[in-house]
Copies of this chain bind each other. A is one copy, B any other.
Amino acid sequence: MVKRYLKVKSLADVMTLLKTSFTCIPSVEYVKLEDSVGRITATPIIARYSVPEIHLAAMDGISVKTESTSCASEQNPITLKDAIRINTGNVVPRDYDAVIMIEDVWAEGDSFTIRKAAAPWQHIRPAGEDIGELEMVLPSRHKIRPHELGALAAYGITEVEVLTINVGLIPTGSELVNQGSRPKPGQVVESNTVMATAILTSVGAKCTRYPMVRDDPSLIRKAISKAIIENEIVIVSAGSSAGTKDFTADAILNLGEVLVHGIAIKPGKPAIIGRITGKPVIGMPGYPLSALTVLREIISPLLELYGLTFPNPETVNARLTSTIHKDIGTDEFVLCATGKVGDHWVISPLSRGAGVQMSAVRANAYLKVPNQLEGFETGENVESTLMVSRDEAEQALLITGSHDPVLDHLANMLRRTGIDLHSTHAGSMGGILALKKDECHAAPMHLLAKDGSYNTQYLKKYLPGENLILVCVAGRQQGIVSRNGISFKEIRNYTFVNRQKGSGTRMLLDFELKKAGMNPSIICGYDREVTTHLAVALAVKSGEADAGICVYSAAKSLGLQFVPISQERYELVIRKAHMDDPRVKALIDTVASQEFKEILSSLGGYDTTETGVQHELP
């Protein structure tokens, strides 16, 4: 029988529970000044001495007593008897109270003539000008900024007492292998505690990653009892669900209390909050994006209760490009790509699979869909939390449409100019839709019309009258990929892997099938869909399918056979209104660059004759 979560708690209730269930007293440690950047002061930092400790000359010149200069004027030059030559930074002699710049002095040996009276304290850096002994330099709970190290060093501070907290991380799961080992089928690299360590260390926590523990209740219990002694917080990675191999909750219950098992968030529902000897023990779910959500929504706020504060992310209001459905009663967090198209922000949800870590890599924002809602509608303006600075988000270049491996190369080249290419693989028709709704900067496509032309017929039909610029990326070869040289005519005899509906490549296949009088239903695997050329080639390489349809470069990169079907025109379509956008300009320049053509040539299967060529519609 499958165990159920006894009682799923809302995120809001969990926040209250964290505050009331733990005392949250941080540890402190002394770190060398050089290592203190970004750390949070545990106590106020007090200057050990005044800077300067004594009056200093602020200029090269002579030190004087102002009363002996008072009668000097252009008409009445005075030769001083008691003036003393002094350089910037030298100590002003006792009873002297001003410095006259050397430029204003006529010097002959030790005799100095002046033509202007000195004002008291002129050109002197008085004792304590910068800071006085015992003055507070920084309060406690201050996050030290890099440039502050100059002042702290100058004031005699060589080490700083900062907040920390010891966090023990226990990876559990018999399927885990250590970093650096190549996982066998069904194994996974233990990565969640690596991620957790990186996130928690960034605010000053000291993380200890304990050895991996296999799915054995007594071993897990043993690991927790050791870690709870050595740390203020323990995080048990995985095993927090309610399946037959999920032992975390029982282990915590055995050693203390389970306060929460199941939180109404998605991803991340199977999280556990326990308490052992007064200390929090968190069960962090095993799916990477569940773990990430629990780290951000549960564990980070817990650390903040100890004074280890995370920077508050920025938010933007953005127009949602596709509907998000969810169940009422759960706060759902959706990773997204956001960017500014023209003068409006748009935001596109990424894959919501809890195992798809690439969503976290690709995301520059996320949405929280609150528990009382069933979702958000396409076109709705939603508050979006940025995972980068606003400035970086403004550098996002949104590309929506047909996928090609060269998009990665464009992304790579554009990064040099600070631009972040976000590519959504929506297929050529998806690109047309995004263009229509003005939700991307450029839409790559390769849509073959009956007259043999590419793209223009579709654009005229779906975007009539719009001013568009088409930029040719390349002519590219599509064909049948296989391990042993299967041709298009033979595919009916083999298992096949297809592309998603709306992709130009699938439309090409359908076009060719129709031309050849072949019924799709006879192709075994026609309904098996993947979304990139490389994914097609990988399915063939792994033996899942015998054949598929993709571009030459994808077949070549995996060392597979390729039998061409046709050459097509792969173009970027851009609204003319965006042609002056610096990101779009950089994109077009990159496509037209010699370096890019050379990359296309080295990949193979691309005809670069027309690369970079523009034409305009209508």
**Chain A residues within CB distance 8 Å of chain B:** 2, 33-34, 37, 44, 48-56, 58, 60, 87-91, 102-103, 120-121, 125-142, 145-156, 158, 175, 179-180, 182-183, 185-186, 188-192, 194-195, 197-199, 201-202, 243-245, 288, 291-292, 295, 307, 309, 311-312, 314, 353, 355-358, 360-361, 387-392, 408, 411-412, 414-416, 418, 421, 527-528, 530, 532, 534-535, 538-539, 541-542, 544, 557-558
Q: Chain B residues with Cβ under 8 A from A185's Cβ?
A: 52-54, 91
Q: Chain B residues with Cβ under 8 A from A2's Cβ?
A: 60, 102-103
Known: A37-B198, A154-B357. 9 other contacts (CB 8 A): A37-B201, A54-B542, A130-B353, A132-B538, A139-B412, A146-B199, A150-B192, A153-B189, A155-B189
Most buried by B among A49, A90, A389: A389
Complex CA gap A252/B116 in Å reads: 38
Contact status of A133 and B558, CB under 8 A, knowing A194-B149, A360-B151, A412-B44: yes
Q: How far is the CB of A604 from chain B (nearest CB, A)?
A: 15
Contact for A198 among B34, B134, B245, B291, CB less than 8 A = B34
Q: How far is the CB of A16 from chain B (nearest CB, A)?
A: 18
- B361 with A154: CB separation less than 8 A: no
Contact status of A132 and B186, CB under 8 A, knowing A140-B412, A418-B309: no
A296 nearest CB neighbor, chain B only: B147
A57 nearest CB neighbor, chain B only: B186
Complex CA gap A56/B183 in Å reads: 13
Complex CA gap A88/B355 in Å reads: 12
Complex CA gap A49/B557 in Å reads: 13
Contact for A202 among B128, B146, B156, CB less than 8 A = B146
Q: Chain B residues with Cβ under 8 A from A295's Cβ?
A: 147
- B129 with A355: CB separation less than 8 A: yes
- A147 with B198: CB separation less than 8 A: yes
Q: Chain B residues with Cβ under 8 A from A87's Cβ?
A: 243-245
A209 nearest CB neighbor, chain B only: B34
Contact for A158 among B49, B129, B179, B534, CB less than 8 A = B179
Contact for A175 among B89, B142, B148, B542, CB less than 8 A = B89
- B412 with A179: CB separation less than 8 A: no
A295 nearest CB neighbor, chain B only: B147
Q: How far is the CB of A414 from chain B (nearest CB, A)?
A: 8
| 11 pairs of residues in contact across A and B, judged by CB atoms under 8 Å | A2-B103, A52-B188, A52-B355, A58-B355, A90-B186, A127-B538, A134-B558, A138-B361, A149-B191, A150-B192, A154-B189
Complex CA gap A535/B89 in Å reads: 20
Contact for A128 among B33, B58, B416, B535, CB less than 8 A = B535
Contact status of A121 and B418, CB under 8 A, knowing A534-B134, A539-B127: no
Q: Chain B residues with Cβ under 8 A from A128's Cβ?
A: 530, 535, 538-539
Please name the 6 residue pairs, one residue from A and one from B, whose CB atoms are nearest each other, closest first. A150-B195, A153-B191, A151-B357, A141-B415, A146-B198, A154-B191
Q: How far is the CB of A261 from chain B (nearest CB, A)?
A: 18
Contact status of A544 and B127, CB under 8 A, knowing A186-B56, A314-B391: yes
Q: Chain B residues with Cβ under 8 A from A311's Cβ?
A: 389, 391
A421 nearest CB neighbor, chain B only: B139
- B138 with A544: CB separation less than 8 A: no
- A358 with B557: CB separation less than 8 A: no
Complex CA gap A140/B153 in Å reads: 36
- B358 with A137: CB separation less than 8 A: yes
Q: How far is the CB of A541 from chain B (nearest CB, A)?
A: 8
A159 nearest CB neighbor, chain B only: B180
- B358 with A145: CB separation less than 8 A: no
Complex CA gap A34/B199 in Å reads: 11
Contact status of A182 and B49, CB under 8 A, knowing A60-B244, A89-B175: yes
Complex CA gap A307/B418 in Å reads: 9
Q: Chain B residues with Cβ under 8 A from A152's Cβ?
A: 191
- A291 with B195: CB separation less than 8 A: no
Q: How far is the CB of A217 from chain B (nearest CB, A)?
A: 17
- B34 with A194: CB separation less than 8 A: yes
Q: Chain B residues with Cβ under 8 A from A120's Cβ?
A: 527-528
- A412 with B132: CB separation less than 8 A: no
Complex CA gap A539/B55 in Å reads: 10
Contact status of A389 and B312, CB under 8 A, knowing A151-B360, A358-B137, A411-B136: yes
Q: How far is the CB of A34 from chain B (nearest CB, A)?
A: 7
A196 nearest CB neighbor, chain B only: B150
- B186 with A91: CB separation less than 8 A: yes
A532 nearest CB neighbor, chain B only: B132
